[in-house]
Structure 1
Amino acid sequence: MLRIPVFMPHEANAIRRHHIPRPKRRVTNWAAYNEAPRQRSSLTVWFTADAIAVWKAVPRTTPGGQPRYSNVLITTALILRAVFRLAPRQTEGLIGSVLQPLGLDLPVPNYSTLSRRAETMDLPARARATGGPIHLLVDSSGLKLSGPGEWLAEKHGTSKRRSWRKPHIGFDAVTGRIVASILTGRDVDDASQVEPLLDRIAEPVEVFMGYGGYDRTGVYTALDERHPDAVMVAPPCADAVLSATADTEPTQRDRHIEMIGERGRLGWRRMVDYGQRSQAEVAMFRYKKVIGRGLHARTLPTQKTEAKVACIVINIMTGLGMPVSRRIA
C-alpha cells in the first residue's frame, strides 16, 4: 500500500488531488471592476501643459548634434507600443494620427529613432515609493525570443527549439504592483538576482517570500543587510538541518525547520501564509497575457528596456482597477 507522508504539499499529493474541493470565490466589486478593462483599451488621449513642455528634448550645451526627442516622448511611445502590440513603424503612425487632429505642432519620432533610443533608454532604476512597507513576492519565468516557427520546422526539418530570456520580478502583495524587475539570460540563478531586486526597491520590506530556490545563504544575507527586520519565508529543502547556533541564537531558517518538524510542511504553509506567494505567479501570468509571451527586440539592452516598459504598463493597468474576490465556500 502506497503511503503519502503528511509533510507533502498539495502540489506533490497528485494522486489525492481529486479529493480536494476547489474553493469558490465571488467578486465583490464587480461594478467598479467592470469599468477597468474598458479604460485599459480607451483611445482617449489628452496632453497637459507639462507634457507638452517636456515633449521636446532639452538643448545640449556640449559639442555635437542637438537632440529632438525627450525621454518622456520615447517612453510614451514605447508604452503605446507595448499596450497595443505594435511594430515601430505602426507606433510612429499612431502617434502622428493622435497629434494631427489635436493641432499640436510636436515632433513625431520615426521608427529607427524609437529602436535606437530604446537600446540606450535610461528608465528609473528604483521604483517610486508609496510610503508604506511592502510584502515582497519574488518569482521568475521565461520569455521567448524570435526563432523558427512551425512552418519552417515542417518544411525544412529545422529544429523548433527557441532561445529565451528570464524576467525576475518583485511583486508587492499589499499594493498589487511590480516594484522591481530584471531581465537576464536563461542560465542565471534566481537567488543571485535577489540583491539587485532589493536595490531597486525604495520602500522598506516587511515580508520577503519566494519558492524553495531562494532558500540560500546569500539571500538571507542580502535581506538582512538591507532590511534587518524583514520576515524571510522560503521553504527549506527536505534534508535541511539546523545551524550550529540553533539552541542559543536561532535564525529565521532554523525556526522554519523546527516548525516544519512540529507541524509538517502543510501546517507550516498555513502558519506562514505561504499561499500568497501565488500572487507573484499570477502577476507573471498577467504579464504574458497582456504583453505577450515573447520579446520583440533583438539585442539584450533593448530587451531589458522592453521588459521594464512592460512592467510599467502592467502597473498602470492594475492601478485602473482590479477585482476583489471573497471566498464563499
Structure 2
Amino acid sequence: MPFKSNADRRHHVPKQRHRVTNWAEYDAGLRARGSLTVWFTAEAVEGWGAEARMGRGGQAKYSDLAIATALTLRAVFRLALRQTEGLIGSLLQLLGLDLAVPDHSTLSRRAETLEVVQPKAGGEPVHLLVDSTGLRLFGPGEWLIGKHGRKRRRGWKMLHLATDTDTGQIVASVLTDREADDGSQVGPLLERVGGSVASLTGDGAYDRDDVYAEVTARDPDAVVVVPPRANAVPSETAPSHPTQRDTHLRCITERGRMGWQKAPGYNWRALVEADISRWKRVIGDGLRSQTDRRQATEVAIAATVLNHMLELGRPEYVRVA
C-alpha cells in the first residue's frame, strides 16, 4: 500500500500541521450536535397519524414520519425499543402534545417495511469514495460465556459505504453478509447513487476487472482510482490501447507509489474512512435489529443521522507546515 512506502523511515518525516480557518462556525456546529432541542412543527403534528386505508386489512395508527422519528432517536441515543418508547412518551408529555406513542412492538414491526428517503449527492457528476467495515450483531456476552462455558461466536455483517467527495456525506450504503467482498458491492452502491458518476476511489480491495467494468458501464467517462496490487502486470493491449489500470501502473513506474497517490487524488479516500470512524463513535459498532430488513432500515437511518450532523458544520483546513 502507498502509506507503507516510508514505513522504515517514517519517524524522520515531520508530521503535517493544519489550521482550521472556520473554527468559530465549526465549534458551534460541534456543540449543536449534542444539543437536545426537540420541537414538533405543525406539519409533523398533523402528519403523526397514518392516513386512512381504503383497501382491505387493518388500519395503521402511525405514519411513516412517526416511526422514522422514533427510530432516529433510537439510533442517536443507542436505545432499545422499550427505552425508545419511553423517550418518545416523555418528549410528547414535556411538549404538551396529545399524540399517541408508538409501542416497541409497533416500532419493531414497522421497521421491517419502512421506506427511508435516500440521501442525495451534492452535485453531478459525483466523485465517489467507497470503503467497508464490519458491524457486529448483538449476542451473548462474556458473562454468559464465563458462566455457562458457551463459546458461541458473535456474528457480524459488512457495511459498504459510498461518500460524496464534495460534501463528505454518505450517499449510498449496502449491508451484506460477511462473505461478500468489497468489489462485488460496487454495482449495488452505484445503483443507489442518483445521477452520473465522475470517479470512484477505493483501496486495493477494489482492484478487480469487474469493478472497472461496473463503473464504465454506468458512465464510460468515469475514472477509477484504485491502487494496483504489488505484483500487478500490464494488460496485453497496454502498448496500443492501455486501460485505466495500465495508466496507473505506468504512473507508479514513473513516479513511485507515493507520486501516484498524489496524482489522481487518492488521498481523498480519507473522507470515507472518516465517515466510518464517525459511524463507530456516534452510532456504534453493532446492529441492534435481528432481521435483514430491519437491519437495512437501521443502517439507512444511521446514515441520515450522520449526514444531518455533518450539515451543522465542517472544518476548513489550511496546511501550515
Q: For residues 37-73 of structure 1, what are the alpha-carbon distances to aligned partners after superposition, in whole Å with 9 as ceiling and x for unaligned?
A: 2222222222222222322111111111111111111
The alignment status of 1:309 with 2:301, answered yes or no, reads yes
* TM-score w.r.t. length of structure 2: 0.94
Q: Kindly state the Cα deviation for residue 149 of structure 1 after the two structures are TM-superposed.
A: 2.5
Cα distance change, pair 129–271 in 1 and its aligned pair in 2 (3 A) = closer
Which of 91-100 and 76-85 deviates more? Answer: 91-100
Q: Distance in 1 between matches of 2:155 and 2:296?
A: 16
Cα distance change, pair 115–278 in 1 and its aligned pair in 2 (3 A) = same
Q: Which amino acid aligns with 2:199?
A: V
Q: Kindly state the Cα deviation for residue 10 of structure 1 after the two structures are TM-superposed.
A: 2.9
Q: Distance in 2 between matches of 1:98 and 1:180?
A: 31
Aligned to 1:83: 76
The alignment status of 1:219 with 2:217, answered yes or no, reads no
Q: For residues 250-289 of structure 1, what are the alpha-carbon distances to aligned partners after superposition, in whole Å with 9 as ceiling and x for unaligned?
A: 2211111111122221211121121111211111011000
Q: Distance in 1 between matches of 2:152 and 2:59?
A: 45
Q: Which amino acid aligns with 1:94?
A: L
Q: Which amino acid aligns with 2:290?
A: R
Q: Which amino acid aligns with 1:151?
A: W
Q: For residues 271-313 of structure 1, what are the alpha-carbon distances to aligned partners after superposition, in whole Å with 9 as ceiling and x for unaligned?
A: 1121111211111011000001111112222111111111111
Contact kept in structure 1, 2:121 and 2:171, CA below 8 Å: no
Where do residues 12-27 of structure 1 align in structure 2 (5 Å cutoff)? 13-27=6-20
Q: 1:119 aligns to what SS in structure 2?
A: coil
Q: 1:141 aligns to what SS in structure 2?
A: strand
Q: Distance in 1 between matches of 2:159 and 2:74?
A: 19
Aligned to 1:121: 114
Q: Which amino acid aligns with 1:88?
A: L
Q: Kindly state the Cα deviation for residue 12 of structure 1 after the two structures are TM-superposed.
A: 5.1
Contact kept in structure 2, 1:130 and 1:203, CA below 8 Å: no
Cα distance change, pair 129–171 in 1 and its aligned pair in 2 (3 A) = closer
Q: 1:35 aligns to what SS in structure 2?
A: helix
Q: Kindly state the Cα deviation for residue 208 of structure 1 after the two structures are TM-superposed.
A: 0.7
Contact kept in structure 2, 1:138 and 1:209, CA below 8 Å: yes
Where do residues 279-294 of structure 1 align in structure 2 (5 Å cutoff)? 279-294=271-286
* TM-score w.r.t. length of structure 1: 0.92
Q: Kindly state the Cα deviation for residue 138 of structure 1 after the two structures are TM-superposed.
A: 0.2
Contact kept in structure 1, 2:279 and 2:306, CA below 8 Å: yes
Aligned to 2:155: 163
Aligned to 2:176: 184
Q: For residues 139-162 of structure 1, what are the alpha-carbon distances to aligned partners after superposition, in whole Å with 9 as ceiling and x for unaligned?
A: 000111123323334444443742
The alignment status of 1:257 with 2:259, answered yes or no, reads no
Q: Distance in 2 between matches of 1:133 and 1:45?
A: 36
Q: For residues 164-185 of structure 1, what are the alpha-carbon distances to aligned partners after superposition, in whole Å with 9 as ceiling and x for unaligned?
A: 1110000111111000001111
The alignment status of 1:59 with 2:52, answered yes or no, reads yes
Q: For residues 5-50 of structure 1, what are the alpha-carbon distances to aligned partners after superposition, in whole Å with 9 as ceiling and x for unaligned?
A: xxx7332543322222221122221111111122222222222222
RMSD: 1.8
The alignment status of 1:237 with 2:229, answered yes or no, reads yes
One of 141, 146, 150 as aligned partner of 2:138? 146
Q: 2:259 aligns to what SS in structure 1?
A: helix
Aligned to 1:11: 4
* Matched residues, number: 321
Aligned to 2:24: 31
Q: Distance in 1 between matches of 2:257 and 2:152?
A: 40
Q: Which amino acid aligns with 2:217?
A: E
Cα distance change, pair 73–162 in 1 and its aligned pair in 2 (3 A) = same
